[in-house]
């Protein structure tokens, strides 16, 4: 629900109009649910620390890092900085403290939002020539995961050098697709000890696009999906790259079927693809919808350490992941000036658990409108 100035104060003409939104009970309940899930993650960190110390596997530095991450996660979004207007029964949420851990449910939601805000304006410029590509490799187990992810990243980089024309294959014209750049996003799904790393890619291609879909192959499935020449070729190239084979015209386009394929689909970018592109690197739930087990946590903790989720190439090369708190100093100041009320606010840090059950106050949060 949007609230205008009426409910709080009439500020007349302001240069920037902050949008003040009511923080609903439902939203607070949801955030409270995140805190519950985070408790599980805190337990996972604790186990990792305890078993590492008992088995003497952790260096003091590693143990320190795990201990710190656990502490930050524990306190993530637990306290909201609030201003309370007692007479109006209104509390204004100013800021909260976020841990930025990749296993944190709060921070994953915030990161998703920040990534979208960051990349969307750039992607909009290419919306007519934007495609969604999904590249996969066969599933692997926990032990192979880190190496698989690193190898995929390396092969993807190589694939880009072929698509942008820096490397060429004699007899294969890859420049005809007019590749201009892409945003590559890593996602890892899992079920028991089976991991499925894959890339979602937003790719800008030239006017010719990917051409008609007319090829049936082993990935067509029961839905009889057909593939374009571009998709079919990328499936081959991706297999060759991942398996360390030479890219030759024969290997890519030849009738010989000994070079195989890995799955690749490329379609016009749809609005719902943003969600896939800027989704979580790894979900808190496995593919059968059970909460992440300790062994999955441990595997993902080590496999994803210092692994970058998003990477831009070509026209998106300079768009970097944002790493900021939800509220900037400027937003904070705008908020203060907006709230020129007679009443003096009482500043306080409130534990979230108390707020979500409190019926006496309406909680507001501010957001800056561009």
The rounded distance, in Å, linking the Cα atoms of 290 and 203 is 33
The rounded distance, in Å, linking the Cα atoms of 330 and 338 is 12
Out of 48, 49, 58, 107, name the contact with Zn ion by CB under 5 A.
Answer: 107
Count of residues interacting with Zn ion (CB under 5 A): 6
Under the binding rule (CB under 5 A), the answer on residue 31 touching Zn ion is no
Minimum Å gap between C-beta 145 and Zn ion is 23
The rounded distance, in Å, linking the Cα atoms of 273 and 266 is 12
Minimum Å gap between C-beta 75 and Zn ion is 9
Out of 35, 42, 104, 152, name the contact with Zn ion by CB under 5 A.
Answer: 104
Minimum Å gap between C-beta 98 and Zn ion is 5
Q: Are strands 213-215 and 181-191 parallel, antiparallel or unpaired?
A: unpaired
Nearer to Zn ion (CB atom), residue 106 or residue 185: 106
Which run of H or of E encompasses 186? strand 181-191
Which tokens in the block code for residue 170?
């004699």
Kindly identify the residues of this chain, within the stretch 231-260, that bind Zn ion according to CB under 5 A. none
Minimum Å gap between C-beta 26 and Zn ion is 20
Minimum Å gap between C-beta 107 and Zn ion is 3
SS3 296: helix
Out of 31, 58, 90, 99, name the contact with Zn ion by CB under 5 A.
Answer: 99
Minimum Å gap between C-beta 109 and Zn ion is 9
SS3 303: helix
Kindly identify the residues of this chain, within the stretch 39-78, that bind Zn ion according to CB under 5 A. 76
Binding window for Zn ion (CB under 5 A); candidates: 106-114, 201-209, 247-255, 340-348: 106-114
Binding window for Zn ion (CB under 5 A); candidates: 10-18, 40-48, 95-103, 311-319: 95-103
Cα separations (Å) of 122 from 102, 118, 237, 270?
25, 8, 28, 16
Minimum Å gap between C-beta 325 and Zn ion is 11
Minimum Å gap between C-beta 368 and Zn ion is 22
The rounded distance, in Å, linking the Cα atoms of 298 and 103 is 11
Nearer to Zn ion (CB atom), residue 102 or residue 146: 102
Burial 310-328 (b: 16+ CB within 10 A, else e): bbbbebbeebeeeeeebbe
- In degrees and rounded to multiples of 5, residue 96 shows phi and psi of -135, 170
Residue 285's DSSP bridge partners are 291
Which run of H or of E encompasses 183? strand 181-191
Binding window for Zn ion (CB under 5 A); candidates: 3-11, 21-29, 102-110, 208-216: 102-110
Binding window for Zn ion (CB under 5 A); candidates: 90-98, 154-162, 327-335, 338-346: 90-98
Cα dihedral 43, 46, 51, 54 sign: negative
Out of 96, 106, 296, 311, name the contact with Zn ion by CB under 5 A.
Answer: 106
DSSP 158: H
Nearer to Zn ion (CB atom), residue 42 or residue 201: 42
Kindly identify the residues of this chain, within the stretch 134-193, that bind Zn ion according to CB under 5 A. none
**Nearest partner of 22 among 367, 348, 280, judged by Cα:** 367
Nearer to Zn ion (CB atom), residue 76 or residue 303: 76
Which positions lie near Zn ion, rule CB under 5 A?
A: 76, 98-99, 104, 106-107
């Amino acid at each position: 629900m949007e609230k205008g100035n009426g409910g709080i104060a009439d500020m007349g003409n302001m240069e920037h109009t902050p949008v003040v939104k009511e923080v609903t009970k439902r939203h607070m309940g949801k955030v409270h649910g995140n805190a519950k899930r985070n408790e599980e993650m805190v337990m996972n960190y604790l186990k990792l620390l305890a078993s590492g110390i008992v088995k003497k596997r952790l260096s003091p530095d590693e143990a320190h890092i795990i201990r710190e991450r656990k502490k930050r996660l524990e306190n993530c979004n637990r306290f909201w900085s609030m201003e309370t207007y007692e007479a109006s029964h209104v509390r204004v949420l100013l800021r909260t403290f976020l841990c930025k851990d990749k296993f944190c449910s709060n921070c994953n939601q915030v990161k998703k939002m920040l990534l979208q805000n960051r990349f969307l304006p750039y992607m909009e410029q290419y919306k007519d020539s934007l495609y969604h590509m999904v590249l996969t490799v066969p599933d692997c187990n926990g032990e192979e995961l880190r190496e698989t992810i690193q190898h995929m990243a390396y092969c993807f980089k190589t694939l880009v050098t072929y698509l942008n024309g820096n490397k060429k294959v004699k007899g294969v014209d890859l420049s005809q697709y007019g590749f201009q750049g892409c945003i590559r996003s890593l996602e890892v799904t899992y079920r028991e000890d089976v991991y499925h790393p894959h890339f979602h890619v937003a790719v800008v291609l030239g006017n010719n696009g990917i051409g008609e879909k007319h090829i049936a192959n082993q990935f067509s499935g029961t839905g009889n999906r057909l593939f374009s020449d571009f998709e079919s070729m990328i499936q081959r190239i991706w297999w060759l790259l991942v398996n360390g084979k030479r890219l030759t015209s024969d290997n890519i386009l030849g009738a010989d079927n000994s070079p195989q394929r890995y799955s690749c689909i490329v379609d016009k970018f749809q609005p719902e693809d943003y969600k896939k592109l800027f989704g979580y690197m790894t979900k808190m739930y496995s593919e059968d919808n059970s909460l992440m087990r300790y062994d999955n946590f441990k595997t993902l903790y080590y496999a994803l350490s210092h692994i970058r989720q998003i990477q831009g190439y070509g026209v998106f090369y300079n768009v970097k992941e944002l790493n900021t708190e939800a509220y900037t100093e400027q937003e904070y100041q705008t908020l203060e000036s907006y709230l020129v009320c007679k009443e003096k606010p009482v500043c306080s840090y409130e534990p979230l658990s108390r707020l979500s059950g409190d019926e006496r106050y309406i909680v507001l949060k501010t957001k800056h409108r561009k």
